Amino acid sequence: METQDLQEEAAALPEDARQQVIGYVKHQASKSMADLLGLIDRAAGWIEKSLEGVSESQAQFCPAPGEWCIAEVLRHVEASMRGTARLVSALAAGEKADVSGIEPVVEAGPETLAELRRGVAQSYDEVRSAVRAMPEGAATGATAYHPFFGDLTCREWAAFVYVHSRDHADQIDKVKSSAGYLR
C-alpha cells in the first residue's frame, strides 16, 4: 500500500473511532509491564485463533481483486510486528525511530501456512523481547508517527500491537466468511 493510499484510508477513518483507539492505546500504555505483555499475548492469540481450520489452499484464497489473502495478511502482520519491535527498542532508548517497517507492505515471503505461522509467532516474540527490555520509565518523550493515530511512545506502540492484531484477525475472519472461500 502506498503512502497516498494510507493517507486516504486515514482520512476515511471516522474521527470518533480514531479518538477511541488513541484513548485505548494511551490507557493500556499506562499499565504495568506485565499488563503490556499480557496484551501482546492476547494479540498473538487473536491471530492464532483466526487461523483455526485454515488449510494451505484457503490461506491463498483472495476474496476480491485488490484484497489480501490470508497468507498476505500474515506476511503483513509478521513484518509489522518485527518493525514494531524495532520501534519499541529504539524509542525506549530515546533514539529516533524508523517507521518504514510499519507500513502495510506485503512482500513475498514464506509460502507454506506453517512457515507463515512460525514467522508470525517469532515476530510476536520479538515484540515481547523489546517490551521486556524497556527500562522502567523508558524514554516516554520519544515518539514515532503512526499515519492514522499520530505520534506514539514506545509503550503506546507496544499497546497498539493489540489493536493492529485484532484488526487483522477480523480481516482473516472476513476472508473466511467471503463467498467462494473453500470450506
- Residue listed under C-alpha cell 467471503: 178
pLDDT for 182: 77
Spatial distance between the Cα atoms of 9 and 103, rounded to a whole number of angstroms: 13
Start-to-end C-alpha separation, the chain? 29
Residue 100 has pLDDT above 70, yes or no: no
- Asked whether the whole model's pTM tops 0.85, one would answer yes
Q: What is the DSSP letter of 150?
A: E
Lowest mean pLDDT among 64-73, 131-140, 144-153, 159-168: 131-140
At residue 111 the predicted structure's pLDDT band, cuts being 50, 70 and 90, is confident
42 CB neighbour count, 10 Å cutoff:
13
Cα–Cα dist 67/181, whole Å: 13
Tens of pLDDT, residues 144-160 = 999 889 999 999 999 99
- Confidence band for 64, pLDDT divided at 50, 70 and 90: very high
- 163-168 mean pLDDT: 96
User: What is the grid cell recorded at 108?
Assistant: 513475498
**Measured distance CA(26)–CA(62) in Å, rounded:** 35
Class of domain 3-176: mainly alpha
Contacts 24+ apart (CB under 8 A), 49-58: 49/169, 50/169, 50/170, 50/172, 50/173, 50/176, 51/113, 51/117, 51/172, 54/113, 54/172, 54/176, 55/113, 55/182, 56/112, 56/113, 57/182, 58/176, 58/181, 58/182
Whether the predicted pLDDT of 89 surpasses 50: yes
Would the pLDDT of 57 be above 50?
A: yes
Task: Find out whether 42 and 162 touch, Cβ atoms under 8 Å.
Answer: yes
